[in-house]
Structure 1
């Protein structure tokens, strides 16, 4: 059981959710406001993607990240900033020539995938630890060992803590290899991602198996998607982990009731408190996660 829980709110993501809920933030101001809302509800960490303000689709434009981060930092609300570094690995084979990229492909190298991280210098950034069939279409998320090693090296040099996003056991295996190669600063920080098609299923059994393969000194969190968001949050706390909620992973508070980020954070904290734990604040989370600039 984890009695001092770090709650992360993933406020928007890059998925096709903007047409399904008016609460999914799109513009830099809306995304920053959502992170602040989540922090005021009790989240210690805001996990942030950005979107094209005109189309609502996911973006990796450094200037959009910079605007979001500046707005948060200039507010009177403390929250740990966790920026995605998962954009730029999308491969869609051409329908007529599968050896070539088709519409929707967005493949770039490790330095460009981290351009906004270098620009903004958040305390945490995500590092997706392997390749994955993403959904039922032809889209593949590609993250190769050389790319990951370079990204790990750069974030280590900058003092940015990589959140090692693992979608199946092979991802944990490679993350442990990077740790063995001293590419990841101690202690490592993992996010067990469950329910994403076609990664690991969202179940208590799956979470336990993946948790049991983590290094003994690792901090970890987990999340489920859609209706399994809160059950997986409870399971993570019971197993000693931290939790992630937010509109990136689930847009509903109850059946048929659209949620805001703040409401999802409040619901998660209610569960944590009913289990006998508490959600810790950003200053406490910095110490627990051993982030850059943490003060006792």
Structure 2
């Protein structure tokens, strides 16, 4: 869609960011409200994780996801919901028992990872297309598990966003497409700058972009201080944009951000390049997403 960009707000994530920025939403109400405020600021999509309201850490509780989704859908502000399906993949090796995970390991089966998506049927969900060294942790998504997840997502009618943290993940995502497990025009997300995945720079974006299928749509995000530079590079190279507190918690050096502020900053950047965010209705039509509200948008 010429002149239009899909703008995603990744509103909370699952990282240990709540002590560094008090604006990171934790409770289902806070996460939903942040998604709504991001939409009012111009976001097309809200990408959501659930957190444990008592600890601030990751939550896989379906009831937490249900409350988030219900609050967003019942609001008067429209936004496309994109639920993570990448939870429960954190493996921290133990030197004492290397075959078993150490403290902090959090693993789920493909069926468990898919549960919020299959039960709540958002328009979109993420599908992390491979394992990676994530700092000193291993994020685990074995290929047969990913085939299982891809099939479950396909059967649900939800559009997968193919998350690629390194170049090999693009190769496997294309294998999923070849095997008929991804319907329609595929949507890719380049996840850049995460130790120790793909670099956050224009050269890497071009390398990954040039290896996509011809009918693919794509987006890119960078973490930390590279959030806005990568957003700008992605938009200029014909891709979509993602910002939000999952990836970066600062508005400027030392200044804690709110999600809606990061969205507003991205919108201003897009306007400077003669672009604007898609509305949720435009995006549902353009990307052939399911409509959770029924009827035409």
TM (norm. structure 2) is 0.97
Structure 1 residues 287, 279: closer, same or farther in 2, change over 3 A?
same
Shift of 1:290: 1.5
Equivalent runs, 1:134-283 vs 2, <5 Å: 134-135=134-135, 137=136, 139-283=137-281
Is 2:34 the counterpart of 1:45? no
Q: Deviations over 1:115-154 (max 9, x none)?
A: 111111111010000000011x2x1111011111111111
CA RMSD of aligned residues (A): 1.3
For 1:63 and 1:118, locate their aligned partners in 2 and report how far apart those are by CA, in whole Å. Answer: 13
Equivalent runs, 1:59-138 vs 2, <5 Å: 59-135=59-135, 137=136
Shift of 1:295: 4.6
Give the aligned length.
Answer: 294
Q: Deviations over 1:27-68 (max 9, x none)?
A: 000000000000000001000001100000111111110010
> What stretches of structure 1 move > 6 A for 4+ residues in a row?
none
SS in 2 for 1:114: helix
Greater mean alpha carbon deviation, residues 254-263 or residues 31-40: 254-263
Shift of 1:95: 2.9
For 2:200 and 2:172, locate their aligned partners in 1 and report how far apart those are by CA, in whole Å. Answer: 21
For 1:291 and 1:100, locate their aligned partners in 2 and report how far apart those are by CA, in whole Å. Answer: 40
